[in-house]
Amino acid sequence: MSKGSQNAISPTRAEDFPEWYQQVVRAADLAENSEVRGCMVIKPWGYGIWELIQRQLDAYFKETGHKNAYFPLLIPVSYLEKEATHVEGFATECAVVTHHRLELVDGKMVPSGKLTEPFVIRPTSETIIGAAFARWVQSYRDLPLLINQWANVMRWEMRPRLFLRTAEFLWQEGHTAHETAEEAMVETKLMHGVYERFLRDHLAIPVIPGEKTEAERFPGALNTYTVEAMVQDRKAIQAGTSHFLGQNFSHAAGIEFEGREGRREHAWTTSWGVSTRLIGTLIMAHGDDDGIILPPRIAPTQVVILPVTPKPETRDAVLAACRDLATQLRGQRYHGDPVRVEVDERDLGGGVKNWEWIKKGVPVRIEIGPRDLESGSVALTRRDQGPKEKAFIPLTEAVDSITATLQSIHDTLLERATAFREANTVEVGSMDELKAYFANEQTGGGFALAHWAGSAEDEDALAKELKITVRCIPNDPALRGGPGTCIGTGKAAEGRVVFAKAY
């Protein structure tokens, strides 16, 4: 909650959470709607966050043996037709290219040159990457094949919301091929764990990792593993998924190899990905009524220094002190990288600049004025605290403690988000309890743990009636619990699942 006497964002979260979200995106200068319906322009501050997410995740991918490649944006429709479940899952979201040129007719540009075969703008790349894998894999010695792609994709979204759901978005998609099912499953779970670690250690977002039910699986997968985050309106966001595809796609694409016994075998494949949806997730997980709050590791600027120059004759000395402090701070390292510092020398009022940086969520703001030069101190404000909660500390202490301060901010955000999730997670023992929980007008529910053995049809009925879905079968034994009775069917259930409303 905002601790200031006023709020930078209107409406507040309590008044209108969806509109609050849109206003935070605008106030923090993260992105804007484009002229193309459903698509967004990611502005420099928002793209700076994505660049850091990309760079830090990419380091994890390389540590686990993966290499980056790039594949075509356009996918022949015939490729999708080879895997029926897959194409059925994405058919209603596909944008289709049918012509290869434009002609001027009566003053208007008209599509011309109809293609022999239409192309789909990639909604995901299993099929076209599978075609490449079929060329690259000839023997068991060529395996495992561990590939990642950073790219854009298009899924025709009818109800767009910046970062959360847009027709075009940025993501990474990992695709791997293996000799055995066991190796492929190890890979699937490895990357599932990488996503859990990344959200916790970089975005300060606690997640519930687990497996999707059959109704919620990725089209064509045998198993889908997810990391589910709770945001401040108590809804779930699927923050990342990892899929064990079995041999479905290798049969469709012809990914065959000569095995150790000389027989032709089909590879076992996986895919996994996260997207710019992570930015929407962190806004909703950490933001307050003054704007976004950025976890330090993915903040484009971790420390902003604000010169206070009430008199022209002190300006040069104050600016020199600010620049010198910036140099000293950049000499400190946080998680292996130099601290990212900016001195805001714009000729604007101090209050205007201060609120701009608050709304942008910069972790630390430091003010230096003439009196601070005399005393050898600075005024330091943390974004995870109220805008007026300044600490006046010696300049040397500000430098020496900056790494600890940034880590403390991360830890505070993680602890706060974890406490919020735990306070809004309940166990329910009957369908009536489940319905009452999500019918609560004050909260609208949160995460509900319940024994479940229902079918995909049962889940679809719940989604229509209560607007809830099974988010996952949690990995954590404490959440999953032991055997029990399904609240919907009365059948024996192996354990509990997580129900929630979701974005």
Give the contacts of 480 (CB within 8 A, at least 6 positions apart): 210, 473, 474, 495, 496
Is 197 in contact with 461 (CB distance < 8 Å)? no
392-451: pLDDT as tens digits: 999 999 999 999 999 999 999 999 999 999 999 999 999 999 999 999 878 788 999 999
48-74: pLDDT as tens digits: 999 999 999 999 999 999 999 999 999
152-170: pLDDT as tens digits: 999 988 788 999 999 999 9
Q: Is 3's pLDDT higher than 60? A: no
Maximum C-alpha span of the chain: 84
210: β partners: 226, 474
Q: In this structure, what is the dihedral angle of CA atoms 34, 40, 42, 43, given to the nearest 10 degrees? A: 30
Sign for the CA dihedral angle at 155, 160, 162, 165 comes to negative
67-101: pLDDT as tens digits: 999 999 999 999 988 877 777 778 889 999 999 99
Residue 412 DSSP SS3: helix
Residue 337's pLDDT is what?
97
Residue 244's pLDDT is what?
98
Q: Phi and psi at residue 59, in whole multiples of 5°?
A: -65, -40
Residue 45's pLDDT is what?
98
Q: How confident is the model at residue 348 (pLDDT cuts 50, 70, 90)?
A: confident
107-127: pLDDT as tens digits: 999 999 999 999 999 999 999
Q: How confident is the model at residue 352 (pLDDT cuts 50, 70, 90)?
A: very high
Per-residue pLDDT averaged across 31-56, rounded?
Answer: 96
User: Quick one: which H or E segment has residue 422?
Assistant: helix 402-423
Residue 1's pLDDT is what?
37
Residue 119's pLDDT is what?
96
Percent of the chain with pLDDT over 90: 90
Residue 385's pLDDT is what?
96
Q: Is 308's pLDDT higher than 80? A: yes
Q: What is the mean pLDDT of the chain?
A: 95
What pTM was computed for the model?
0.95
**CA–CA gap between residue 186 and residue 148 (Å, rounded):** 17
| Domains of the chain, first to last | 17-286 (3.30.930.10), 303-405 (3.40.50.800), 426-500 (3.30.110.30)
Per-residue pLDDT averaged across 263-269, rounded?
Answer: 98
